[in-house]
Chains A and B, each alone.
Chain A
Amino acid sequence: MEDTLKHLKDITNKLSDLPTLPTVVSQITQLMQNPRTSAAEVGEAITTDQSLTSKTLKLVNSAFYGFPGRIKTITHAIVILGFTTVKNIVLTASILNVIGKTGKSKEFDQEAFWLHSVSTGAIAKVLAELYKHKISEEAFIGGLLHDLGKVIINHCVVDLFEEVLIYRDKHNCLLKDAEKGVLKVTHQEIGSWVAERWKLPSNLTAVIQYHHNPELAGDYKEITGLVHLADIFARALGSGSGGDNSIPIVSETIWNDMNFNSIDLPKFLERAEDEITKASIFLQAI
């Protein structure tokens, strides 16, 4: 454990050009924790940031949310779509704003990466609805951002990232094992370190940290389990690529906890593919 912390420190010391999130993001997260906060207050906070406002409005007006071109102000968006949705849109828009959709390494297919991410989000959303968990919005964003660590490695220490890719090909292993081999830490650990620094909501941080071993996610086992399963199904359906040619084994604890054997798989896969097509609109709009 101590070793991991030391290795993590070695890497994070090198993240000198780690972008910072706009302060409005932590302001909003805080405002949302207060049940008495009004739509107008949140709207006011968001509109202090011009570029974030226009990006948020572009997203809420995309076909993904089904109100094309009709929402003119942030307050209006909150009234129609609700607090949680708008908060998640702002969060996603600002993270993608600072890290960008393009990575630095030419050896890594960034388009396939984001397709994998958005597909994981879409499937996690379907699973949440299937299990009647009222966290389908959170599950979508969790899936979309679960591999934040990979983006950071590709953005901030690109030479090391390319060593990881070479290691992966040489040993024919999963990216996370190649990371362990080269960096001594994985994208889960680096991602959650950044998530904490950025003060992202704790359920999102848990998803980023534990999506490969969701049984360790404590209070956030439910959402992390959904994203864990969604990640595996996105790979199985061949929708994009997170950088692996193979697939990790599904957690038996989560499988049993969710009683996944009882799921109507053909129907689930059909719904998952529909939702992935829909979510690709989200990706274009962002």
Chain B
Amino acid sequence: MKKVPVTEIEDGMLLAKPILGTDGKILLAPGVELKATMSSRLRNWGVVIVNILEERDDTSEEKENKLNKLEMTFEQVLENPNMKLIYDAVKKHIMDSE
């Protein structure tokens, strides 16, 4: 799953999470295919970002890239307990992301 600003919706994107109205009712259900032309209507509903389904392979490769980058960024600072705490939390955040 990835987050996409409404301004960047493309034809054929599949919704991963429902879009809810202010009253909590479902306006668009998960799995609905989006069209670029829906962008302005969504904006009028006050929607800013939408959750889009991704193909499985892309997700795991992206995760691996993110974890490698994280490792490199923190290489020199892991002895600091607070930095270690941040590192662990972000690592878990990346691994748990859908």
Do A and B interact with each other, yes or no?
A: yes
Chain A interface residues toward B at CB < 8 A: 63-64, 66, 68, 232-233, 235-238, 245-250, 252, 255, 260-261, 265-266, 269-270, 273-274, 277-278, 280-281, 284
Q: Which residues of A contact B92 (CB under 8 A)?
A: 266
Is the Cβ of B75 less than 8 Å from the Cβ of A246?
yes
Chain B interface residues toward A at CB < 8 A: 3-7, 40, 43-44, 46, 48-49, 66, 69-70, 72-77, 80, 82-83, 85-87, 89-90, 92-93, 96
Q: A265-B93, A274-B49 are in contact. List 20 more A-B contacts (CB 8 A).
A: A63-B5, A63-B7, A66-B48, A233-B90, A236-B73, A237-B90, A237-B93, A238-B70, A246-B75, A246-B76, A247-B73, A249-B83, A255-B82, A265-B85, A269-B93, A277-B3, A277-B5, A277-B49, A278-B5, A281-B5
Which single member of B44, B74, B85 contacts A247 (CB below 8 Å)?
B74
Please, how many angstroms separate the alpha-carbon atoms of A237 and B90 in the complex?
7
Is the Cβ of A63 less than 8 Å from the Cβ of B70?
no
Q: A247-B83, A274-B49, A281-B48 are in contact. Are A68 and B89 (CB under 8 A)?
A: no
Number of A-B residue pairs, CB cutoff 8 Å, is 80
Please, how many angstroms separate the alpha-carbon atoms of A156 and B42 in the complex?
42
Please, how many angstroms separate the alpha-carbon atoms of A248 and B83 in the complex?
9
Chain A interface SS verdict (over half): helix
A211: min CB distance to chain B, Å? 17
Q: Which residues of B contact A265 (CB under 8 A)?
A: 85-86, 89, 93
Q: Which residues of A contact B80 (CB under 8 A)?
A: 249-250
Task: Report the nearest A residue to B91, measured CB to CB.
Answer: A236
Please, how many angstroms separate the alpha-carbon atoms of A265 and B92 in the complex?
10
Is the Cβ of B93 less than 8 Å from the Cβ of A266?
yes
Is the Cβ of B73 less than 8 Å from the Cβ of A278?
no
Is the Cβ of A232 less than 8 Å from the Cβ of B86?
yes
Q: Which of B44, B48, B66, B85 has the most CB of A within 10 A?
A: B48
Q: Which residues of B contact A270 (CB under 8 A)?
A: 93
Nearest 4 CB-CB pairings of A with B: A265-B89, A277-B3, A68-B43, A269-B93
Is the Cβ of A250 less than 8 Å from the Cβ of B86?
yes
Task: Report the nearest B residue to A238, measured CB to CB.
Answer: B69
A130: min CB distance to chain B, Å? 14
Please, how many angstroms separate the alpha-carbon atoms of A245 and B3 in the complex?
25
Q: Which residues of A contact B96 (CB under 8 A)?
A: 266
Is the Cβ of B90 less than 8 Å from the Cβ of A68?
no
B40: min CB distance to chain A, Å? 7
Please, how many angstroms separate the alpha-carbon atoms of A252 and B87 in the complex?
16
Which single member of A64, A233, A236 contacts B48 (CB below 8 Å)?
A64
Provide a sorted-by-A list of 23 A–B residue pairs whose CB atoms are within 8 angstroms.
A63-B5, A63-B43, A66-B46, A68-B44, A236-B86, A236-B90, A237-B90, A238-B73, A246-B72, A246-B74, A246-B75, A246-B76, A247-B74, A247-B77, A249-B80, A252-B82, A261-B85, A266-B89, A269-B89, A274-B3, A274-B49, A277-B49, A278-B5
Is the Cβ of A278 less than 8 Å from the Cβ of B82?
no
